[in-house]
Each structure stands twice: as structure tokens, then as C-alpha cells.
Structure 1
Amino acid sequence: MSKEHSWGWRKRLVFGLLLMLVPVMSGLGFWQLERAEQKRKILQRWEATESVLSSLPAHRTAASEYDGRAVELHGMLLQQRVLFLDNRIRQGQAGYEVLVILDVKASPQYVLLNLGWLPADRDRNVLPDVTLPAGDIKIAGRLVTPLRGFTLGTASWQAGWPQRIQQIDLAAISAASDVALYPQVIRMSEPLVPDVQVGWAPVNMPPERHIGYAFQWFMMSIALVVCLVVFGWRLWRKDLHTVKVTTE
């Protein structure tokens, strides 16, 4: 194989690989637009003046359709099922978000409550001391669908309670607690225990930023298409010139 032929083969391989990136970039742009629409709907539900839900909605559609809805429930907390969501930063300070399970009154349902944020002790082996209210209580908050982040390996559960976790995995928490959890979490609107700080932004990223990212992906996709057209045109011109030379 000649050096010129080998280089021509490599150029075609690069061309094919770059061509495959076009639909990938375009797909990422459309995905960002979908995320922007989801965030817009969450903000609309968060700001809506519609009545507060007094029961957990039956999920006949995607759980995320109820993100941001206000809900008020009565029930009892499972006292021995406390979880601390690790690596939660507020105002530059590391801490935990306290998670507990509510046994919903007059219902067979259980739902995970996010009570709020507590600062972490300097000693990582010391978890915060949380005293939960006993008996029937009333809670008010917002429904949120937890997003699973990337983790290395499988989460390990220690023996006994409370548990320190790195992300909210409702299936894993259900299995460890031996209860079937509702597919969403309720973020509390008011503190239920002392020293716990509530208050979350409705969304972690505004729709405008997603639209900006989508614009960037589309622009990169268009730029790549232009480069491929120029690259392909030059390859075609070179091949045409080679054919003419060999036939003369």
C-alpha cells in the first residue's frame, strides 16, 4: 500500500467519524431543549395558585409531571429510618440533608421526606443527632423527582440505622427499609425539627441556560457540517483529479 493511498484511507476514516458526531451533537441540542421545557413546567407549577394536594397523586403518567406541586399530608414518621444525604453544601459549608419516611395516614403509601439541611461535624464518623416528632403530624412541602447521579460501583449499606448515603436511590432505600416508597420525594416547606434549614431553588438550572447550551450544540453541529462539506468536496476533487491522471 502506497503512502498516498494510506493517507487517503485515513482521511476517509476521519471523515466518517466526524460525520457520526453530527447527529450526536444535534441530539444533545434537542435534549437540552427538552430539559428547558421540563424546567419551565416545574417553574409554572411552583408559581401556580392551584389548590394544594391533600393526597399523593396516582402515577398514571411520568412522576416528573407532578414536580413542584405543593402537598399537605398527615401521617407518622418511621422513627428508626433516618438517612443523611452526604456532601450537601450550603453557603460554602459541608453538611447533610436529613431524609425520613412518612407513613401516610389513611393510606397504604410511604413517602420519603427531605426535612432540610444540617451542618456536618468535623469528625466524619459523627452523624448529626436528630430528634423526630412522634405521633400524628402534618407536613407541607413540594413533590420532587430525585435525579440519580453518577457513582462508582454499588452503594454499600451499613448495618443498622441511621444511614449515610451519597444519592437518593428510592429502590435501594425501599429495599433497606422494607417498605414500598412513593416514586417522588417531598421537600419540606417548613422546618419539622430544630436547627434544620429548609429552602431550595425550584430548579437547579433555569430554562434559559439549557436553551443556551442547546444553541451551542446546534452551532457546533452546523460548524461541523460546514467543515465536512469542505473536507468532502476537497476529497472528491482530489479523487477526480487522480482518476483523470490515471486515464490519460
Structure 2
Amino acid sequence: MGIEVEHLVGGYSQVPVLKDVSFSVSDGEVVGLIGLNGAGKSTTINHIIGLLTPIRGHIQLGGVDLKTDPAAYKQQIAYIPELPVLYDELTLQETLTLTMMAYGLDVEKTWIRAHELLKTFRLDNKLNWFPANFSKGMRQKVMIVNAFMTNAKVFIIDEPFLGLDPVAVHDLLQLIEEARGRGAAVLMSTHVLANAEKYCDRFILLNQGEVKVSGTLDQLRAAFPDVGGSLDDIYLALANGERND
């Protein structure tokens, strides 16, 4: 069932940022949410995770609507924000334990998975550290571990590569592929277009709060026949208003 966004109109006031946005992300699919700063990517994500209430339109995750069953809706989501959010008074171990409890996970079994991820991201010897001790990249790695130790059905990932070293980027992309392989729906917003082009099944290109074009890379190329064939070329064409309708 994945993610279903239908005719979404919304924003941070009565003046909408998003204007009739519709798209879907199927189970076992990675979809890239692409657009300039201010295009509406973060606003779209904030509506999906329930931080903003739509003015109009509907959002469902796995066939569940946020309004009708908020607990079941949010239970499906693992979210990696652009800016890491950690509790200053909690150690890394306490942070992960809190997430396990919030998701109702088997703590003993989940710690097995958590330790694997901590070792992958070279955090396994930092369980007693507080957020003040972590660099920006390490904070981002904590958010990644926090998300991928869950059994979430939907991953919402917002600019995940900022601050990560190349090894961590590779490890994150492997986790995304693994999530897709086990049937999770992944929506990823990023400006790192080379990674998006390589790992995403489809793309949604937002511009000024509207979906300008969506589809596979081949479908995007068909929509922009007079530019180069890379996602970067298509992105620049969209930014420059050069789409050939």
C-alpha cells in the first residue's frame, strides 16, 4: 500500500505552499523527491509525518488515514530529518531504548539489530555518550541507526547525506536498498542527484509547490527531450523553466 498523497493542499498558514500535490510510493519502491529550495519538499514531508494538517486532500500510509487512526498511521513511519533531533539529557543507549519502547518493539531482539548498525556506523563504543559529544555527522548516524533498527513499513528520509563521510553514505544507501528489498516504501528528498539517479526507482520533481513531472528516469528524459539525459540535466532544465510540454 505504501504512501498515497491525493490532491494535497497545505502549508504553514492559510496561504498554501502545496497546490494539489498527488503522488504515490509503492511497497518495495524508492522514490526521490527532487526540487529547488522552497519547492515544497520539506512541507510535503511534514504533512506526511503528521506535523502539518492539510488544508485539503488526503494522505494514507498502508491504507491508514492519519485522521482516523493516528497511532496506526505513525507506527508505520521511520523518519530521518535533515537536521538531527536528539534529547540532550539522554545517552545514545537511552535514545535507542526510548525509540524501541515507542515502537513497542522487543527490546532484547531489537538491540541485536541496533548493535549491528552501531558497528556499521562506528558508534558501538559510544553508547554512553550524550549528544553534546557528537559531531554533526555522528548525530546524523544516530538518526540513521534510530530509524533502521525499527521494522517500519515506510521510511521518510530528508536530505540524509549532509555531514556524512563517503563510507557512511555508502552504508546508508545499502540500508535503503535492504529496506526496499524487504518491501518498505521509501521516500527520499535529496539534492545529491547522482545518488538519487542510481538508487531511486522513480522521481517526483516539485516546483513552486506543484508536481511538475514524475516517473522513471526514462519517463523524465521523454518529458525533457532537449536536455542531457542525466537527472542533474533534467533538474537544471526544470530550474530554468525549460520543460518542453
Calculate the TM-score normalised by the size of structure 2. Answer: 0.22
Larger radius of gyration: 1
So what's the TM-score if we normalise by structure 1?
0.22
